[in-house]
């Protein structure tokens, strides 16, 4: 496996379900990110972890809960989502932050019914 891998690729859930998105990076990077991509809108940064510590949380509702158990893995736990949360959720990683390139996974397409 190389690069950034996200699972599942597609997820359909009801508003009362609990699910988790998984991201794994094989690049030896020390920072990981969650982004939300909605139609007709720019990518929105949700969370940043550096060396397994959360360093940014961009006013994301508490129904989204990130977890970073080590520098290679990142999770996004989802509960009681709303239909407007339907989007493509992208994970990325980088070596540090300053000026460094973020590499993205293929994303999880989430549909909330």
Partner 1 sequence: EDQVTQSPEALRLQEGESSSLNCSYTVSGLRGLFWYRQDPGKGPEFLFTLYSAGEEKEKERLKATLTKKESFLHITAPKPEDSATYLCAVRGGGGSNYKLTFGKGTLLTVNP
Which residues here bind partner 1, judged by CB under 8 A?
4, 6, 31, 33, 40-43, 45, 48, 50, 55-56, 58, 90, 92, 94, 96-99, 101-107, 109
Residue 80 CB, shortest distance to partner 1, in Å, is 27
- Minimum CB–partner distance for residue 13 and partner 1 (Å): 19
Which token pair is 72? 């290679």
How far is Cα 7 from Cα 24, in angstroms, rounded to an integer? Answer: 9
- Quote the strand ranges of the chain, DSSP E: 4-7, 10-13, 18-25, 31-37, 44-50, 53-57, 64-70, 73-79, 87-94, 103-104, 108-112
Task: Report the residue number, 15 or 55, with the smaller CB distance to partner 1.
Answer: 55
SS3 of residue 1 by DSSP: coil
Whose Cβ is closer to partner 1: residue 4's or residue 78's? Answer: 4
Least distance from partner 1 to the Cβ atom of residue 113, Å: 20
């Amino acid at each position: 496996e190389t690069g950034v891998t996200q699972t599942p690729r597609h997820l359909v859930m009801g508003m009362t379900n609990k699910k988790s998105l998984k991201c794994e990076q094989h690049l030896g990077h020390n920072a990981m990110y969650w982004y939300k991509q909605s139609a007709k809108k720019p990518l929105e940064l949700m969370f940043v972890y550096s060396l397994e510590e959360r360093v940014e949380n961009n006013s994301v509702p508490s129904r989204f809960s990130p977890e970073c158990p080590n520098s290679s893995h990142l999770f996004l736990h989802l509960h009681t989502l709303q239909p407007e949360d339907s989007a493509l959720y992208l994970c990325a990683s980088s070596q540090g932050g300053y000026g460094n390139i973020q590499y993205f996974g293929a994303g999880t397409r989430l549909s909330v019914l």
